[in-house]
Structure 1
Amino acid sequence: MLYYDCFRSGPDVLLIGPPPYGLVSALHKATMTGLPGNISLASSSYRSESVMITRLVDVPSDVAAIRIALKSGETFTLNVQPSSVAEFSGARLLFTMSKDNELAWISEWARYHSRVHGTDAVVFFDNGSQRYTLAEIAATIAAQGISRVAIHSWPYIYGAPDPAVRLNPFYTQFLQVASMSVMLRRYGLNSAGILNCDIDELAATPRDSSIYDLVQKSPQGLIVMQGRYMEPVPNSDAVPFGDHRDYIRYLADPTLSTSRPKKWALDPSRHWVQNLKVHPYMHWIENRPFFSKTTPEGVFYRHFRAINTNWKDRRTENLPETGQALIVDQDYIETLRRA
């Protein structure tokens, strides 16, 4: 697949897809044409190890599709989708990519961030779920007070790690990295803030603060945070919720309880974000300015081992070993009481 998405961005059209490994020369020689009218279009590309953005400059408003013609004779046609940047302007946006996670988990993920951080918009990339429809996902999220919901069908192959690359074997997960550029460029560019958290993750900040307020006050508009693993040991002292709220304990040993992959929150109004060379990844932002990230005191995310379909590993079965001390997360319990 050359491109996952094709959409308006001001006077331009952006194509977002995987990097063209083995196809650099073919794409360089390809012609891009706007339809109807057979309008020749100038292009420029901005690529990283895991994603490429192709910008088509000053595309007339009546162009409805882009035809890509390779010198080999192959042609591809992409319909131009509208931008949703205006619809999400000023929003406190939360986004993720998900496949077949329980609707109850999705509901609590949306409810928590709405109540605790003031999230009022969600962009949800669905990776081909079979257990429910896109409409059911949208209704589940909207029921938690989220006023703006975009469910983006994203049913393509996720991509396996490359074991031959030791430093970053996950560079081949082109689909998820590309979804982040689509989220930013098609939906979130004019939002008040963007929070990157998966369904099994809940962002935490000091009491009476919101991750969106904190990132707007940060020096360069970027907060990064590590996580705390919440163990898959149900709370036997309460009636089960069937979601994150059933799991309130973490390991006392910080070397075991720390979830080291970083998540981030972004203020997209900062001028450096407009640069198409800037590519959001799952755990960092490629080509961000030097010294642009901060981690305010008390900011982290809770990472729930039990909120998982075991699609990648048997995480829900990794119970603490006998003798390992557990701590009841009183701050989380207090947050839930207030939410």
Structure 2
Amino acid sequence: MTSDFATCRLGEGGPRRKSRVAPRYRKDGYDAAFDDRTLWLDAVWHQGVVTLVCPRLNNLAGVFRSGALALDGVPARPRVRHFYRHSLVQMRAPELPARVTLEVAGTRHDSAVSVTDPARFRGRNVIVTMSRDNDLVWIEDFARFHAETQGADAIILVDNASRGYGRAEIEQALARTGLDALVLRTDLPFGPRGRAPHANTELFLQTCVLNALRLRHLSEARAVLCCDIDELILSRRAPTVFDATWQSIFGFTRFEGEWRHAPTPAQGITVRHADHVLVRSGGRPSPAKWCIRPTGPLGELQWRPHVLEGFAFNWLFLSRAFTYHHCRQITTGWKRDPHRDDTAQLVPAEPAAVLARGRRRVAPRPAAAVRAGWNAALRRGGEVLSRRFFALRPASQVVSLLILSCLGIVLEEAIDDDPAQQEIDAILAILDATPQIDQMEATLDVWF
């Protein structure tokens, strides 16, 4: 197996992950594409904690409860958190350990521990994308477009077991775009496509990759844009999506896209992004993509391809200042067959290059300056507190707000020289009437 991640998989004859999707929602080949063996994609040491980024554990959570975890042979107590498509297992580690080990019923599972490297992408505009078997011309066109029109500085491309070329060929294609390119590889299964409403429920790999990269490489990036090779991001107004995200208070921007189609090319001609000059009248928008400032208030939330995990306000950040072209024929056909599209209702539209013209950067972006002064210190402090707050589970956020309300009441009544006990008793009564915190967390995690 080829991987640039510290991956651990179960061996033959061991336990297996069970699917959460009922059989009636599974298409042909679903079980074969389902990842039932990966314990963790990556083990990352970051800020005194080793985090195992796992495909959603489901029943395999019991393996961590019954087994013995250790860091360099020293027993470790895990904290397990479950999200929609992934799980995190976290262990305190003041010093960087070399290996993490899980022993279950006499069987040892282990991997190295990845070291974080935020310096390479510090203060830079970074694209994050995954690819498998995409034409190298597509990859180069995609990267060059965003370098020229959105001011991208760097790209991290994770190759998922492409068969027609290797890492060196991808690096050569990206080098011609001027971007600082980091190409990583993993052979883990991408995951199965189900029937609605479970079309994407168990596509574990992309979400795991995003969160592993967030911890390993991107915690100090200026802004990070998550998009796919078949997508071209466009500004409807002057700022780039990286600049707008950097300058925004919360450091988060979401935007919808539109499907673009290309005329059927002549035999032997490779269709390109620039050929996508047709649209369908009244077509539905493509699902929102996002750009985030990792050092901002929302920087510690979990990443998914279209939303921030567990954040109830994704919808508030949908911006009309940006859009993207979702190029229908930039595909290997693994998810959709572009040749089956009904082209009768397609009408001509301006190509992406024309729409981007006049919005290109006329001067290089200055390096991110270090903020100074009292206002800057207050802003940094507010961002740190916000990051800690939004990283909490929803139930913990509710409890924190109630506690702050109590403190606010005490302060107000102290100023007014009135007793605060009546208001506090009312809040405590509400808390007494709620379920236990663990049950609240489980329920709210499902909602959000």
TM-score computed with the length of structure 2 as normaliser: 0.67
| Equivalent of 1:8 in 31, 45, 61 | 45
Contact 1:34–1:59 under 8 Å retained in 2: no
Cα distance in structure 2, aligned partners of 1:6 and 1:304: 35
Relative contact order (C-alpha < 8 Å, sep 6+): which is higher? Answer: 1
**One-letter amino acid of the counterpart of residue 249, structure 1:** L
Shift in Å, 1:47: 1.7
**Does structure 2 retain, via aligned residues, the 8 Å contact 1:248–1:333?**
no
Encode CA deviations 1:251-273: one digit per residue, 9 max, x unaligned.
2x12x2x3331111111112332
Of 144, 153, 162, the match for 1:111: 144
Flag the structure with higher strand content.
Answer: 1
> 1:129 offset after TM fit, Å?
0.3
**Does 2:147 correspond to 1:121?**
no
Per the alignment, residue 347 of structure 2 pairs with 326
Q: What's the offset of the Cα at 1:144?
A: 0.3
What amino acid is the match of 2:75?
Answer: S
Shift of 1:10: 2.5
Distance 2:60 2:106 in 1: 14
Distance 1:81 1:325, change over 3 A: closer
Report the identity percentage: 22
Matched residue type, 2:56: P
- The CA distance in 1 between the partners of 2:339 and 2:219, in whole Å, is 36
RMSD between aligned residues? 2.3
The structural deviation recorded for 1:314 is 0.5
1:115 offset after TM fit, Å? 0.5
Q: 1:101 to 1:235 in 2, by over 3 A?
A: closer
Shift of 1:336: 5.4
- Match in the other structure for 1:301: 324
Q: How far apart, CA to CA, are the structure 2 residues paired with 1:325 and 1:314?
A: 17
> TM-score normalized by structure 1?
0.87
In 2, distance between residues paired with 1:250 and 1:292?
Answer: 25
**How many Å separate the matches in 2 of 1:316 and 1:332?**
24
1:87 aligns with 2:120: yes
Q: Which residue of 2 aligns with 1:261?
A: 287
What SS does the aligned partner of 1:8 have? strand
2:210 maps to which of 180, 189, 193:
180
Name the SS of the counterpart of 2:215 in structure 1: helix
Cα distance, 1:130–1:59 mapped onto 2, change above 3 Å = farther
Return 178-187 or 104-113, whichever deviates more.
Answer: 178-187
Q: Gaps (5+ residues) in structure 2? A: 1-37, 361-448
Task: Give, in angstroms, the shift of residue 92 of structure 1.
Answer: 0.4
What secondary structure, in the 3-state scheme, does the structure 2 residue paired with 1:171 have?
A: coil
Find out whether 1:215 has 2:245 as its counterpart: yes
**Separation in 2, partners of 1:313, 1:242:** 16
* CA–CA separation in structure 2 for the residues paired with 1:184 and 1:232: 34
Shift, 1:330, TM fit: 5.6
> What SS is found at the alignment partner of 1:6?
strand
Larger-gyration structure (1/2): 2
Structure 2 residue 94 is matched with structure 1 residue 65: no
User: How far apart, CA to CA, are the structure 2 residues paired with 1:53 and 1:40?
Assistant: 18
User: Could you tell me which residue of structure 2 aligns to residue 192 of structure 1?
Assistant: 222
Which residue, out of 39, 50, 56, partners 1:19?
56
Structure 1 residue 317: Cα displacement: 4.4
Instruction: Report what 2:306 is aligned to.
Output: 283
Partner Cα separation in structure 1 for residue 257 and residue 297 of structure 2: 28
> Please, which runs of 5 or more residues in structure 1 have no aligned partner?
none
Letter of the aligned partner of 1:151 in structure 2?
Answer: V
Letter in 1 for 2:277: I
Alignment of 1:30 with 2:67, yes or no, is yes
Q: Deviations over 1:221-265 (max 9, x none)?
A: 2211111111122699xxx885211222222x12x2x33311111
Look up the match of 1:53: 88
Cα deviation for residue 17 of structure 1 reads 1.2
CA distance in structure 1 between the aligned counterparts of 2:314 and 2:337, rounded to whole angstroms: 37
CA contact (8 A) 1:234 1:246 kept: no
Name the counterpart of 2:235.
205
Greater alpha carbon shift after TM alignment, 133-142 vs 281-290:
281-290
Shift of the alpha carbon at 1:43? 2.2
